[in-house]
Structure 1
Amino acid sequence: MTSIEENGVPVLLTIRGEQYFEGTDPDATELMTEGTMAVTPEEMAFSYEESALTGMEGTTTTFAVRGPQVILTRSGAVNSQMIFEEGRQHTSLYETPFGGLTVDIQTSRLRHNLTDRGGLMEIKYSIAVEHTVTGRNCFKIRVRRR
C-alpha cells in the first residue's frame, strides 16, 4: 500500500477535542488544519501535521478507519497508537520523552459518515493511564475536500 502522502487528496480538517474530568468543567479545544485523505479498499485515512499550538510539533497524526475500528497513530516527536472500537477496550503503549505509559481506551461511541468526499466522525471514549481512569474524552472531526 502506498503512503497517505503519495496518493492523498488535500482536505481541511476541523478537530474538536473535549475532555471531562471528575469535578471540573469540560475542557474543549478546536483545531482547523490542512491535511490529506486517502481511500483504499481496506481503509480510509486522513493525516495532518501537529503544530506548536497542540504541543506536539514535529508529529504526524493519522486517523485510519478500518471496518469497525478507528486507529489513531502519532509518529515523530510523539509516538503512540490508540485503537477505538465501540463497546471494546484496547490497550496500547504511549511513548513520551520521559518513558512509556500503558493506556487503556474504552470506546463508548464511534459514529461516522465518511466517504471519499469527506464527512463527520465522532468518537467518545474513556482513557486509563497505567490502569487508572483519568477522564472521558470526545473527538468530533469534520473532513472537507479542498
Structure 2
Amino acid sequence: MQKEVLIHVRGLQMMDAQGDQEPIEIIVPGQYYFRNGSHYLRYEELLDETAEPTINYIKVSGTGLEVSKKGLVNVHMVFEQGKKNMTYYTTPYGTLQMGISATNLELTESEENLQIKADYALDMNEEHVADCYLAIQVQPRDCKDFVL
C-alpha cells in the first residue's frame, strides 16, 4: 500500500440507560507504514477550531489494536480481544479513567486496502458506560472509489 492514504474512521457509542447513540465519522488524509509485522497509521484531527490539531496514531498487529491521541486530548487505548485494558483520557477539562474490553477485533488487508473493526465495552471510572464500535478503512489517497 502507498504511504499517502485516506483514512475513514467511523465510531459508534451505544449508551446504556437511554439507548442514545453517539456516532462519529471523519475522512482525513494520513500516512501508512508497515514495519515488523505491524500496520501503522498517522493522521491529524481538528477537535476544536481554535486548538492545535490532535495527532492520532494507530497500530494494528497480531496482538491487537492501539490508538494514541496527542494534542488537545491525550490517550493511549489498547484493544486486545478478551482482555480489559485501563488507560487515562486527558482533556482540557480533566482526566478520566477508562477501561476498554474488546469483544471482537477484525483485520482485513489487501494490497490497496486495509479494514480494521473493533467492538468493545467502555468503562469510565469503573462503571460500564457504553458498548462501542470502531471501523477504520484505509485506501490510497488517489483512489477514486472509497468503498465502505
TM-score normalised over the length of structure 1? 0.85
CA deviation vs aligned residue, 1:26-84 (integer Å, no higher than 9, x gap): 33222111111111014211111012479985211111012221110001221100000
Is residue 2:90 matched to residue 1:91?
no
Equivalent residue letter for 1:79: N
Identity %: 24
Q: Aligned Cα RMSD in Å?
A: 2.2
Q: Judging by fraction of residues, say which structure has more helix.
A: 1
Question: Which AA in structure 1 matches 2:31?
Answer: T
1:66 aligned partner = 61
**4+ residue runs over 6 A deviation:** 53-56
What amino acid is the match of 2:121? Answer: S
Letter in 1 for 2:117: E
Closer, same or farther: CA 142–96 of 1 in aligned 2, 3 Å: same
- For structure 1, the 5+ residue unaligned runs are 1-7
* Amino acid corresponding to residue 86 of structure 1 in structure 2: Q
Question: Is 2:117 the counterpart of 1:128?
Answer: no
1:12 alignment partner in structure 2: 6
Give the drift of 1:101.
Answer: 1.8
Which of 43, 52, 56 is the matching residue for 1:48? Answer: 43
Aligned amino acid, residue 89 of structure 2: Y
Normalization by structure 2: what TM-score? Answer: 0.84
Structure 2, unpaired ranges of 5+: 142-148
Contact 1:16–1:140 at 8 Å: present in 2 too? Answer: yes
Contact 2:56 2:70 in 1 (8 A): yes
Separation of aligned partners in 2, 1:14 and 1:54: 20
Distance 1:92 1:111, change over 3 A: same
Distance in 1 (CA, whole Å) between partners of 2:107 and 2:53 is 28
Equivalent of 1:80 in 75, 85, 96: 75
What is the CA–CA distance in structure 2 between the aligned matches of 1:16 and 1:119, rounded to whole Å?
Answer: 14
1:127/1:114 CA distance change after superposition, 3 Å: same
Q: What is the one-letter code of the residue matched to 2:138?
A: V
